[in-house]
Amino acid sequence: MIRTAPGREWLAGLEPAGPVTVDQAAGTAANTGDAVARIGAGPVCWAIEVGREMALQIIAEIPAFGGGEAPFEVLRQGTEASIVRALLLLADPGSGLPSSAEESLAGVREFVQRGISLGGLLRGIRLGHEGMARAFLAACEERVDRARLPEEMAATTNELFRYVDGFADSMTQEYLAEYDRWATSAAAARAQTVRALLAGDAVDAAEASRVLGYDLGRTHLGLTAWTERPGADSALQLAAAELLRARGATATLVVPVGSGLVWAWGVVAGSPGPAAHPRDDVRAAFGLPGAGVAGFRRTHGEAGRAERLRRLAGDVRAGSSDYADVAVAALLAADLTGARDFVRRELGALVEPSAEDLRTTLLQYLEAERSVAAVAAALHIARGTVTYRVRRAEQILGRDVGERRLALHTALLLADELGHTVLDG
């Protein structure tokens, strides 16, 4: 039965602006169902929509909360739970509900393990409160009678401030408790040691090797592996170790760094073997082998750049990529704005969607040292088609493809690797 306090009937009429349904909730079916029973499906869908917007805003302001679909869903679960709880408390202050839902507290463990500070957590809460307050006050202004509006706006603002104070206290207590648990665990010692090594801090290699159970004096192959499947962290760690062993690693180090993401290293001798195909829900990126602590740091950085390139390209396909194959594009994409401007300047009208076949053929043509026969065989098209496409591309560019060849080849490579990320205006 839907209950609202006198004067709060406007909350029961809330509706999302977009096509949001209850089954899109980040929270559990039981908690979402309880909220629907208390306030109705429309207001809950409104809260789901606002919770998603809050999560996006927090990540835009504090990128440490992001890093892929899985971390985003962890954050969204918390923002959604907080606004649903605020909605229920505003509608029925006598409900006896605590200020913090368990789903909001659940993300604290991950935030601690990912190295997000208490200050960062509290800043995220403040940003979330700003987004929540804007949404409630805009709805209040739209739905409450003008005669009552100033009073209701003030009351809603005050109650939201009281709510967020209690919410922040609960989150702080949970963070400190989780931090104490984490700081005394072996996993924390390993994660902190790895972060210190990657940061270039003065670390005793022998002591670090002992803490990690991994010989830092050897040659290392770095790997990052990620998945968008919730709750797959243990399986992801196993998959990362298997991928390294498939390439010849005789010892491995796997460090979870948040939901759906692990960093890993393997000791290799000589050139690593070919990459194995990972499980269907796993994506992976490898660096190049590197020796000692410097090589441990360098191969990880290379794997991270290869991972970033795939994420920028929106590549959600399972599989692995090697930094050696994408190094040029990965380095150029470090300045994404500059890369986008460069591609559009060099390719002109070839950036249009209708020119995709021309771009693909021209890239193959330059990589095959302008061999029409090689391109025809690689793309399974007629030689005449290759010739036509190259000539058409030259017409659009207004020059022979031999002019500014390096710049043209680089722009085509970036377009091929990053797609709409650099092609769209």
On whether residue 193 sits in a domain, the answer given is no
Cβ 285 vs Cβ 393: under 8 Å: no
**pLDDT score, position 69:** 81
Whether 127 and 265 map to the same domain: the answer is no
**pLDDT score, position 383:** 92
Where a domain ends, among 332, 351, 386? 332
On whether residue 209 sits in a domain, the answer given is no
User: Residue 110: pLDDT above 90?
Assistant: no
Q: What percent of the chain has pLDDT over 90?
A: 50
**pLDDT score, position 269:** 87
**pLDDT score, position 270:** 75
Give the count of alpha carbons within 13 A of 63, CB side only.
1
On whether residue 287 sits in a domain, the answer given is yes
- In this structure, the number of other CB atoms found within 10 A of the CB of residue 287 comes to 27
On whether residue 299 sits in a domain, the answer given is yes
**pLDDT score, position 315:** 66
Where a domain ends, among 332, 366, 388? 332
| Degrees, nearest 5: CA angle 67-216-326 | 45
Mean pLDDT value across the chain: 88
On whether residue 319 sits in a domain, the answer given is yes
**pLDDT score, position 333:** 84
Confidence band of 113 (pLDDT split at 50, 70, 90): confident
Q: In sequence order, which residues have a C-beta less than 8 Å from that of residue 208 and are 6 or more positions away?
A: 193, 196, 197, 216, 293
How many Å apart are CA 252 and CA 128, to the nearest integer?
39
Alpha-helical (H) ranges within 280-335 are 292-312, 323-332
Domain total of the chain:
3
Looking at residue 344, which CATH number applies to its domain? 1.10.10.2840
pLDDT digits (tens, 9 = 90+) for 375-412: 999 999 999 999 999 999 999 999 998 888 999 999 99
Where a domain ends, among 159, 183, 207? 183
The model's pTM is 0.59
Query: Please, is 140 exposed, middle or buried when counting C-beta atoms within 10 Å of its C-beta (0-12, 13-18, 19+)?
Result: buried
How many Å apart are CA 120 and CA 61, to the nearest integer?
10
Whether 91 and 13 map to the same domain: the answer is yes
Looking at residue 117, which CATH number applies to its domain? 1.10.490
Alpha-helical (H) ranges within 144-204 are 149-183, 186-199
Confidence band of 284 (pLDDT split at 50, 70, 90): very high
Whether 340 and 368 map to the same domain: the answer is yes
Whether 320 and 346 map to the same domain: the answer is no
Whether 17 and 152 map to the same domain: the answer is yes
Whether 29 and 129 map to the same domain: the answer is yes
The DSSP symbol for 317 reads -
**pLDDT score, position 318:** 62
Confidence band of 280 (pLDDT split at 50, 70, 90): low
pLDDT digits (tens, 9 = 90+) for 41-99: 999 999 999 999 999 999 999 988 887 788 888 899 999 999 999 999 998 887 777 77
On whether residue 210 sits in a domain, the answer given is no
Instruction: Tell me the chain's radius of gyration from C-alpha atoms.
Output: 26
Q: What range does the domain containing 295 cover?
A: 215-332
Whether 274 and 250 map to the same domain: the answer is yes
On whether residue 196 sits in a domain, the answer given is no
Whether 75 and 172 map to the same domain: the answer is yes
Whether 279 and 143 map to the same domain: the answer is no
The answer to which of 250-259, 312-321, 328-337 has the lowest mean pLDDT is 312-321
Whether 137 and 254 map to the same domain: the answer is no
Map residue 21 onto helix, strand or coil: coil
User: Residue 230: pLDDT above 70?
Assistant: no
Whether 268 and 401 map to the same domain: the answer is no
Nearest to 399 by CA among 358, 361, 348: 348
On whether residue 192 sits in a domain, the answer given is no
Whether 324 and 370 map to the same domain: the answer is no
